[in-house]
Structure 1
């Protein structure tokens, strides 16, 4: 058998000589020659971890190629090189930083500073005034207010990962003559179109929307109890606000309009110069200003918005 009738291939990780007469030429593919090697390597893998194969070349003059397991060292090579580089750079920077601080300390030690031995009466009065102001400011926040959890039934129109889609759904309800708002919760945007304190009332409201081909789902909605540090005036006012909000929810359940006088009293008794709840009270004033011309769906949206903003305040 002549030299030309033989072929050298890699099988099972070893160089093997085959006869061309025993195997048709079309079967000598890279996939066939490495079949045994790949199967053996897969058996060694732990669990579902599949090894990575790379194309390799033999060291002989024929420059034959085969597929073998990727060296584990190659995976860690970039990490090792990066670590060595970081150590070298850190050492050089540390050396320069040390010299810089030594020069700074040396320069400071050569300077002379004069510390005043006395304080003028005017400066002393100003210092005492600032101290009194700080004590007065610190006295404003003296109590921790505990607010209980809230629960109600809401009409959920949708749940979205993106705000743009939620706004599109909200606009759909507004254009149909109803009203909806967006509640961001756990990275999802919920479109809510109504609220009630009983499931029966919520189902009744949902049927009204469904008749207008606006699909909603009745969901039990809740917020957790929370604690916030406020002044006594702010705590007292927030308790009055919570009471008014709860009474308004009862009015919705009875199909009654919200009390304009009750909410006007809440707005008029907002604590003056309150910085802790200023953002919330500004939002409240804006919402209550729309109450006179609001229909029942807009009133429900107002209660939902106030609930959402209050939850942001206390949390």
Structure 2
């Protein structure tokens, strides 16, 4: 280093340049600076510096979340235990309720929520309401009968019945308008009954040939029922005209009767009973069929308007 160059010293962190010089002056200056630097350093070491601390906000949030998570982790087992207890309690309560209800039903065979059984009339009305009914007009049935008498009491009519059965006839008692008619035979014309009338007259039994009619009827039926009744009337008129009954044909007609409603039940049942009879002629069977037909019209099973 050159003896003439400046001398650089640091005083409290700052550079200071001192020109070098020969002799005592230069040495004194350097010593003075050294003492000054040492004093400054000592003073600096004795003073307590205040440090400003900056906090990282992201670190603060993270620490807060960590604290919250730590709190939740501490209470998590308790919450799980409470929820589990509630769930198990609910399930057990439901199971116990079912057991109690079933046990009560076994002790009481007729639970309160069971509806009372419907009677036959209610079932019949519901069945009738489930099909479409319409108003139909049925033709009148007309014929001629051989009448033995008319009585106000059925017993009187039955007493007179024996006179005809002894002669081989099978008369019937037809009740109409609170009177009892003793009818011996039926035909499609007066002429067809003249022979029987003369035969009875020869045996001193007085009879009358007269027209007999079942009036036109207006009633409510299904279309199938109306069609069946129309066939019945047609077959009855044919049997009356030709004087013969094929029982098998009539049984098939009865079997084919519609059964969607109960309207025809009583009538078809009566027809079956008529066909079961043995040893009776066509006239007697036709009179009994016609009587059953009239009874059915007036039985209240249908709406009848004359």
| TM-score, reference length from structure 1 | 0.51
Deviations 1:188-230 (A, max 9, x none): 2110000111111121221233344433111111221111212
* 1:223 alignment partner in structure 2: 214
Aligned residues: 180
Residue 147 of structure 1 is aligned with which of 103, 118, 138?
138
Residue 282 of structure 1 is aligned with which of 245, 269, 277?
269
- The equivalences for 1:218-297 within 5 A come to 218-252=209-243, 257-272=244-259, 274-290=261-277, 293-295=278-280
Q: Does 1:302 align with 2:285?
A: yes
2 CA distance for matches of 1:154 and 1:212? 19
- The equivalences for 1:41-52 within 5 A come to none
Deviations 1:209-259 (A, max 9, x none): 33444331111112211112122222221111111111110122xxxx322
Q: 1:135 to 1:307 in 2, by over 3 A?
A: closer
Please state whether the residue corresponding to 2:181 is helix, strand or coil. Answer: strand
Deviations 1:16-44 (A, max 9, x none): xxxxxxxxxxxxxxxxxxxxxxxxxxxxx
Please state whether the residue corresponding to 1:191 is helix, strand or coil. Answer: strand
2 CA distance for matches of 1:283 and 1:235? 18
Residue 311 of structure 1 is aligned with which of 279, 294, 305?
294
Residue 195 of structure 2 is aligned with which of 197, 204, 221?
204
Task: Give 1:313 shift.
Answer: 1.8
| Structure number with bigger Rg | 2
Q: 1:197 to 1:139 in 2, by over 3 A?
A: same
* 1:170 alignment partner in structure 2: 161
Please state whether the residue corresponding to 2:130 is helix, strand or coil. Answer: helix
Please state whether the residue corresponding to 1:275 is helix, strand or coil. Answer: coil
Please state whether the residue corresponding to 2:212 is helix, strand or coil. Answer: strand
1 CA distance for matches of 2:162 and 2:257? 32
Q: 1:134 to 1:226 in 2, by over 3 A?
A: closer
Query: Considering only aligned residues, what root-mean-square deviation do their CA atoms show, in Å?
Result: 2.8
Q: 1:134 to 1:307 in 2, by over 3 A?
A: closer
2 CA distance for matches of 1:135 and 1:216? 49
* 1:13 alignment partner in structure 2: none
Q: Which runs of 4+ in 1 moved over 3 A?
A: 133-137, 211-214
**Residues 244 and 262 in structure 1, CA contact (< 8 A), matched pair in contact too:** no
